Amino acid sequence: MRFLQRRLPFRAAADERRLTCAARLGTHPHGGEVKLKLKWISLILALSAVIMLSACKKKVAPPPPPPPPPPAAPTASLTANPNAIDKGQSSTLNWETSNATDVSIDGVGAVRPTGSQSVTPPESTTYTLTAKGPGGTQQATARVTVNAPPPPPTASSATEEELFSQNVKDIYFDYDKSDVRGDQQSSLQSDVAFLRQHPNIGVTVEGHCDERGSTEYNLALGDSRASAVRNALVQGGVAGDHVKTISYGKERPFCTESNEQCWQQNRRGHFVYQK
Amino acid sequence: MIRPIIFAVILASLFSSAFAQDWIRTGTGLGVEKVRIAVPDFKAATQDPKNTDLLRVFNDTLFSDLENAGIFDVVSKSFYPLGPIGTPADVKFEGWSGPPANAAMLAFGNLGVTGSNMTVQGWLYDVKNVASPQVLGKQYGDAPTADAARLTAHKFADEIIFRLGGGIQGIAESTIVFVSSRTGKKEIWEMDYDGNNQHQVTHLGSISLSPRFSPDGSRIAFSSLTKSGWDILMYSLELDRMVAFPRFGGTNVSPAWAPDGTKIAFSSSRSGDPEIYVAEAAGTNLKRITSFKGPDVSPTWNRKTGAQIAWVSGRSGLPQIYMSEADGTNAQRFTEEGYAVSPSWSPNGQFLTFSWIRHYGPGAPGAQDIYLMDIASKQWVQLTHDGGRNDSPCWSPDGRHIVFQSNRSGTEQIWTMLADGTAQKPVTASGRNSQPNWSWK
């Protein structure tokens, strides 16, 4: 729209100029009043008409020369049947072209001018047929929608992640301590059990601290906490190369109030699911 | 309880005449009778319209530099004799040396813009020595900009401080790097020592912490959260960009430069436990100097000798300050109680300043304050008393000042004070600012 709006004033100006030229021609001051000088006047009239016409000539589109007969433009059509499938099923593409020398379908390759082919797209796909000929290029498209199957493979990892967040419990620490305290052992045991049952899951243990103490000491303390959790997991039989650690010190608190309840929330080894 | 009381007495004498000689010799000059100095506004030397603004910047900067120096008793301007003073011919000695000004020293001069040049002439007069008063006469030329006027004032102030402060270089031209989250991310920032000219150094968009100037001022080492974890990173102030430094794996934080600039100590958990390592300045030849379970972090070198390192260790429970030779031998616990972190070694090698919750535990006030401790005697003095959490102290290059962070105003800001705990004032106000580190000169 913006493009059109910008172009419109130009076109209006051109029209105005054309009108002005026509008006000048129609109201020539010497319009045949003095017959004696008829010849003279008609010469002037003719001359000014030529001048006016030549001035206006550019605004009047010349009649186009008769075009040479063009080569016939190609035609193309493409359909998919059915156009909605479940994952793993196939659909049939049917196409017809004319006046084309070179026909191809994206994702399929070069094909004959008219034909059909079965496709099994893994996800919803728009097929584009391109027909090229001496008369130009024509495209046609058909979309095959792939409905997600009820238990798709991607959903199994989402479920795994859900299971992870339901079963894996963070480990909480005492102030300035990085050893796993007694009341956290049951959480730790269930973490070990879950991670051993799901050996394909990777995990990052984040070490967090409360806001008290120095930034630098808390980064080191958070590192010790993350390592303590990792070591306990590995001792419990979790593969060490599946457990990474990172310290956040007091940089990313879960809770920002200055009281013990909040501080306890922040003194933890936090488990983060890794695919 | 006895020791603090005894030490309070010792301290009182430390900052007064009894130990004055000691303080002069050890380099702070604090506690000595202060030189009474008058600093009348410099006078315009030309008719240029730029003079007014530049003079305002110059006069404000010079006055506050001399007030901040800690060795002067700057005479109130209301005691000054009337009449502008711009050249030696304008000086009327009795008006300055007599009451009510009673000045011993007079710093005066003029500033004038001519075309694209600003010329500043400054003198320092001993007004009680009428026969031969001139202590200092300096002339400076620079572009007629506010920044240049401020820098020229800093230079002249440092000349005066150098002459009258026992031959110790002033800090008026020094800068401070710090961590600021005012952009939303913790980045490294730099500012003049007085809080002017604050500007962002890093643009990493992560969490950058613990900036440390190299002794020659060409680089800043700091730690930052990268894709591989916490790494020591290096920023070149000469090239104005990041330069390479090795990645060691694990959590690498709290870099500290040796005073000769050839080595860097830092904490790394590359072996599984946070320990102190020492590497060449380029990151090569890494050597572990601690090996004890529990966090070891925040090293600081003896800034005079480079032969010892102090650091924070949690090996015995709550973090305490430990000391050892620079190769890690002869490690000894230095603080005996509470929660002690963030040590910074004084330029003269004699003191540590650190952050201490001295009586940690139930029923204790639990205030976190800045302390100064004499290393030989382990006698200490508490420098902050005004509430909030006070942390990350760092010495100024002249050993007379300490910069630190405090949240006493409601948000974490950078503050400076004299090393005796007086003249505490904030130098940042925007966003949250922490972990200041003062340049070495």
Q: Which residues contact A8 (CB under 8 A, 6 or more apart)?
A: none
B295 and B236 in a single domain? The answer is yes
Q: Which of B164, B183, B214 is the last residue of a domain?
A: B164
Query: Which phi and psi (to 5°) does residue B101 adopt?
Result: -65, -50
B158 and B180 in a single domain? The answer is no
Contact A216 B312 (CB under 8 A): yes
Contact B209 A217 (CB under 8 A): no
CA distance A191 to chain B (A): 21
Whether residue B6 is contained in a domain is answered as no
- Whole-number pLDDT of residue B27: 47
Q: Which residues contact B80 (CB under 8 A, 6 or more apart)?
A: B38, B40, B95, B96, B101
Q: Which amino acid is at B17?
A: S
User: What is the greatest pairwise CA distance in chain B?
Assistant: 72
DSSP for A51-74, written as a single string: HHHHHHHTTSPPPPPPPP-PPPPP
CA distance B299 to chain A (A): 10
**Packing angle of the helix pair B146-164, B51-68 (nearest 10 deg):** 30
Query: Which phi and psi (to 5°) does residue B80 adopt?
Result: -75, 145
Q: Which residues contact A85 (CB under 8 A, 6 or more apart)?
A: A91, A144, A145, A146, A147
Structure tokens at B378: 């382990």
Alpha-carbon gap, residue B73 to B67, rounded angstroms: 7
Whether residue B275 is contained in a domain is answered as yes
Whether residue B9 is contained in a domain is answered as no
Taking contacts as CB-CB distances below 8 angstroms, the residues of chain A near B371 are: none
CA distances from A101 to A76, A97, A104, A128, B413 (A): 12, 10, 10, 17, 75
Q: Which of A97-106, A183-192, B98-107, B116-125 has the lowest mean pLDDT?
A: A97-106
- Whole-number pLDDT of residue B28: 55
Q: Band of the pLDDT at A182, cuts 50, 70, 90? A: very high
Structural contact between residues B356 and A213, judged by C-beta atoms closer than 8 angstroms: no
Structure tokens at B260: 């000769």
Whether residue B5 is contained in a domain is answered as no
B37 and B180 in a single domain? The answer is no
Q: Which of B141, B164, B187 is the last residue of a domain?
A: B164
Whether residue B282 is contained in a domain is answered as yes
ipTM (interface pTM): 0.90
Contact B253 A246 (CB under 8 A): no
Taking CA atoms, what residue in A is nearest to B340? A213
B226 and B347 in a single domain? The answer is yes
Helix (H) or strand (E) holding B393: strand B390-395
Q: Which of B229, B269, B339 sits opposite A213 (nearest CB)?
A: B339
Whether residue B87 is contained in a domain is answered as yes
Average pLDDT of the residues of chain A: 79
B193 and B158 in a single domain? The answer is no
How many structural domains compose chain B?
2
Structural contact between residues B162 and B140, judged by C-beta atoms closer than 8 angstroms: no
B240 and B371 in a single domain? The answer is yes
Q: Which amino acid is at A93?
A: L
Q: Which of A213, A216, A227 sits opposite B253 (nearest CB)?
A: A216
Beta strand residue intervals within B52-116, DSSP E: 72-74, 105-114
Structure tokens at A21: 């030229």
Q: Which domain holds residue B139?
A: 32-164
CATH for B278:
2.120.10.30
B151 and B262 in a single domain? The answer is no
Taking contacts as CB-CB distances below 8 angstroms, the residues of chain A near B294 are: 178, 224
Taking CA atoms, what residue in B is nearest to A207? B251
Mean pLDDT by 10 residues, chain B (441 residues): 46 40 43 88 96 97 96 94 94 94 97 97 96 96 97 98 91 97 97 97 98 98 97 98 97 98 98 96 97 96 97 95 97 94 96 91 73 94 90 96 96 96 95 98 93
Q: Which amino acid is at B152?
A: T
- Whole-number pLDDT of residue B29: 56
Alpha-carbon gap, residue B418 to B15, rounded angstroms: 12
Q: Which amino acid is at B64?
A: S
pTM here is 0.75
Residues of A with CB under 8 A from a CB of B: 176, 178, 212-217, 219-224, 227, 246-247, 251
Contact B274 A213 (CB under 8 A): no
User: In this structure, are strands B35-38 and B72-74 parallel, antiparallel, or unpaired?
Assistant: parallel
% of chain A with per-residue pLDDT over 90: 38
Structure tokens at B428: 């940042």
B301 and B419 in a single domain? The answer is yes
Alpha-carbon gap, residue A142 to B52, rounded angstroms: 76
- Whole-number pLDDT of residue A8: 42
Q: Which of A216, A227, A246 sits opposite B229 (nearest CB)?
A: A246
Contact B341 A214 (CB under 8 A): yes
CATH for B45:
3.40.50.10070
Q: Which long-range contacts (CB under 8 A, 24 or more apart) does B202-207 make?
A: B202/B235, B202/B242, B204/B233, B207/A251
Query: Given a cut of 90, is residue A82 above it in pLDDT?
Result: no
- Please provide the size of chain A in residues: 275
Query: Which phi and psi (to 5°) does residue B21 adopt?
Result: -60, -40
**Packing angle of the helix pair A185-197, A215-235 (nearest 10 deg):** 60
Sign of CA dihedral A263, A264, A268, A273: negative
Rg from Cα positions in chain A: 40
Whether residue B22 is contained in a domain is answered as no
B210 and B326 in a single domain? The answer is yes
Structural contact between residues B401 and B171, judged by C-beta atoms closer than 8 angstroms: yes
Sign of CA dihedral B221, B225, B228, B229: positive
Vertex B388: Cα angle to B191 and A178 (nearest 5): 95
B63 and B105 in a single domain? The answer is yes
Q: Which of B164, B191, B213 is the last residue of a domain?
A: B164
B74 and B99 in a single domain? The answer is yes
Q: Which of B251, B392, B434 sits opposite A223 (nearest CB)?
A: B251
B151 and B260 in a single domain? The answer is no
Residues of B with CB under 8 A from a CB of A: 186, 207, 209-210, 223, 225, 229-230, 250-251, 253-254, 267, 269, 272-274, 294-298, 312, 314, 317-319, 339, 341-342, 355, 368, 389, 391-392, 434-435
Query: Given a cut of 60, is residue A18 above it in pLDDT?
Result: no
Whether residue B170 is contained in a domain is answered as no
Q: Which residues contact B380 (CB under 8 A, 6 or more apart)?
A: B7, B371, B372, B373, B374
- Whole-number pLDDT of residue A122: 80
